[in-house]
Amino acid sequence: MSTNATIPAAGVPTPLTMAEVLRVPVMRRLWYAQLVSTFGDFLALFAVINFLTFHLNATPRDVTGLQIAYLLPIAVLGVLAGVFVDRWPLKPTLVASDLARAGLCLLLLFAHSTLQFYLVMAAISVVSSFFGPAQGVAIRSAVPLHGLRSANSLMQQVMFGMRIIGPPLAGAMYVQFGARYCYIGDSITFVCSGLLIASLAITRPALATMEKKLDENEDAKPKQGIASILADMKVGISFIVRHAGVFFVILALAAGMFVLGCFGPLIAIYVRDTLHTSTKIYSVVSAMIGVGMFAGISSLGTLAKNVKNTTLVYFGLGGIALGVFLLAELPYVWAAILANLIIGLAVAGIIVPATTMIQQETPPALMGRVGSTNMSLIFAAQILGLLLSGLLANRIGVVHVFQICAVMLVVLVVVGKLFMEPQTHPTPA
């Protein structure tokens, strides 16, 4: 299904707005499903963190470990999951993933130790490693190429909007009903998401011929079992490495998430030791990232409609570098608020254009593998940022960590412009 767009004289379709994209039935229900399940995720995560903190007396390391337990399976299994997403029927994969996560959420009812919570969250993450790439394939199949940026903006708008309103809503429900009902609520949201997706007619092009062409350099002898899986993985990774534009934006996404991984745990220390202020200021400063992300996502469709995806990624990387540099060089509350707002806006300038470019440039036969590899690198970068942030801050100080991150991003912009500027590639049919 697609939405017709007005074709200008030059023959280039006018980019679809978010409202026009929502008129595509498949996209609209995928968006509803994302809205429901994302709130459920915040609900369960808030309840788990509160239970660990106030009932199990968890240490900061325990809470950080919970994040790593959720991120690690996706980072490790992402590349492999994409192979199966490209092989399996799309709608059953999405529905089964939602229903499996609904059942796993109910296991939280029986978790009473830190290790048990880690195991359940890791199991949910394993299933999510299949759902994420499959959802990307569904969006790519349902929305025309000139509507993909608005489609990705809508999906990210849900994520960033929930970062603002999710914690207070989840907190109110936790106080009112307790952790058990939060876990049940999350399970229900996954069931609702699965039912919404089950009602859709999701199709994608026949992939056999395209896959054969993409694999033309491989041995013509048919492969089976593990050899077949490894061969499929090789095809996906080979496409990424050979396509300069896709390689650059995936690298940019990973770099941005690495900086956020370093930045997130250290901002509280920065507020305490550098700004010498209170928890109230920390709450305001942290919230500015979410506000910036949401504002950036919401304005991309109007303010940057005709700007190239790679240009937006350059500005995004530069914006994060500017925000981190302001934090390092201007130790004032107003500067911290402005810097975090800039960082949030800049993150939006990377995520949506980079995701859109990946979808536009990747052949449908490889969407699962390329999307899952991208997701794997993003989560791995976040984990690396989490692990290195404390180690580096203890050795060289928080301010110097911020300075290193800013320099790294500037170098990446220069390298991308000089060596990885995408060449003209025919848009996949």
What does 243-307 look like in DSSP terms, one character per residue?
-HHHHHHHHHHHHHHHHHHHHHHHHHHHHHHTS---HHHHHHHHHHHHHHHHHHHHHHHHHTTTS
12 SS3 class: coil
Q: Kindly report, residue by residue over 238-271, the tens digit of the pLDDT.
A: 888 888 888 888 888 888 888 877 776 677 778 8
Chain mean pLDDT for the chain = 82
When computed from its CA atoms, the radius of gyration of the chain, rounded to whole angstroms, is 21
Sequence-separated (6 or more) residues with CB below 8 Å from residue 16: 3, 5, 143, 144, 146, 147, 150
Q: What is the C-alpha to C-alpha distance for residues 120 and 378, in angstroms, rounded to an integer?
A: 22
Does 1.20.1250.20 match the CATH number of domain 18-204?
yes
In whole angstroms, how far apart are CA 139 and each of 52, 61, 202?
36, 37, 9
- Per-residue tokens: 342: 């800039």
Q: Of 425 and 184, which is predicted with more confidence?
A: 184
Given a contact cutoff of 8 angstroms between Cβ atoms, the answer to whether 102 and 191 are in contact is yes
CB 128 within 8 A of CB 71: no
- Higher pLDDT residue, 312 or 207? 312
CB 59 within 8 A of CB 114: no
What integer pLDDT is reported at residue 6 of this predicted model? 37
Residue extent(s) of CATH 1.20.1250.20 domains in the chain: 18-204, 236-419
Convert 234-254 to b/e letters by CB count within 10 Å (16 or more is b): ebbeebbeebebbbbbbbbbb
User: pLDDT (tens digit, 9 = 90+) per residue, 78-131?
Assistant: 888 888 888 899 999 999 999 999 999 999 999 989 999 999 999 999 999 999
**Cα separations in angstroms, 7 against 16, 294, 324:** 11, 30, 42
Question: Architecture of 236-419 per CATH?
Answer: Up-down Bundle (1.20)
Looking at mean pLDDT, say which of 45-59, 302-316, 340-354 comes out highest.
Answer: 340-354
Q: Which residue has the higher pLDDT, 263 or 62?
A: 62
Please report the pLDDT score of residue 205 as a whole number: 60
For residue 281, which phi and psi values (nearest 5 degrees)? -65, -40
Query: Is the separation of the CB atoms in 5 and 143 below 8 Å?
Result: no
State how far the Cα of 43 lies from the Cα of 242, in Å rounded to an integer.
41
